[in-house]
A and B are shown apart, each in its own frame.
Chain A
Amino acid sequence: DIQMTQSPSSLSAFVGDRVTITCRASQSIGSYLNWYQQKPGKAPKLLIYAASSLQSGVPSRFSGSGSGTDFTLTISSLQPEDFATYYCQQSYSTPMYTFGQGTKLEIK
């Protein structure tokens, strides 16, 4: 299985900050990397697909980059509604999909 490792596991930041979350794959996955946002008690929401494509309706302050084994999710200016847990997911070894362990973003 392809292992996905996110860092950090948790992060505190202020509203307005620029934040970057990293996801590393245990082997090259090309651009087959998706990012999700999950708020407490809710289902995950797709933010970014194919490493850098913004899902329809997602604010442009979210962006994704990377290829191969190293990927980043960046929030350019944190808004109050962005405090949530973020997960990366590889879709390279379909259908054996795997997720990162999550990054919890909290208000400082």
Chain B
Amino acid sequence: QVQLQESGPGLVKPSQTLSLTCTVSGDSISSGSYYWSWLRQPAGKALEWIGRIYTSGSTNYNPSLKSRVTISVDTSKNQFSLNLSSVTAADTAVYYCVGDEVRFNWFDPWGQGTLVTVSS
């Protein structure tokens, strides 16, 4: 059973870079069964897809965030990471790392989520 776990700072200052890592267990991140995605959810609001990476390193990003987002993968550690630059209070949200099934593109499994607050 594949499990995901987010890690990273819970508080980031405005204009700085938000950095999160997702550790995958129960399967190799290079298995090819998933794209590896990041999503976020501001309090009381809907889910927003941020971007994804494949084991090859190929990436896709939400156009609304593309200029600020970088997603990378470290296959040796079975991890993938999110960097979001120039953050503002609007980036405050729960961030989820998620497996994006390659054939039908549903989201499962999910990490438990981590709250990142942007504040000085």
B105 at interface (Cβ–Cβ under 8 A)? yes
Contacts of B106 in A (CB 8 A): 34, 46, 49-50, 89, 91
- The secondary structure that dominates the A interface is loop
A94 at interface (Cβ–Cβ under 8 A)? yes
- Partner among A87, A95, A102 whose Cβ is within 8 Å of the Cβ of B52: A95
- Partner among B49, B60, B107, B110 whose Cβ is within 8 Å of the Cβ of A98: B49
A78 to B63, CA, bound (A): 39
Tell me whether A94 and B105 are in contact in the complex, defined as CB-CB below 8 angstroms, given that A43-B96, A43-B111, A43-B113 are known contacts: yes
The number of chain B residues with a CB under 8 A from chain A is 20
Instruction: Give chain B's interface residues, CB within 8 Å of chain A.
Output: 35, 46-49, 52, 60, 62-63, 96, 100, 104-108, 110-113
Contacts of A98 in B (CB 8 A): 49
The number of chain A residues with a CB under 8 A from chain B is 23
A91 to B112, CA, bound (A): 22
Contacts of A91 in B (CB 8 A): 104-106
A20 to B20, CA, bound (A): 37
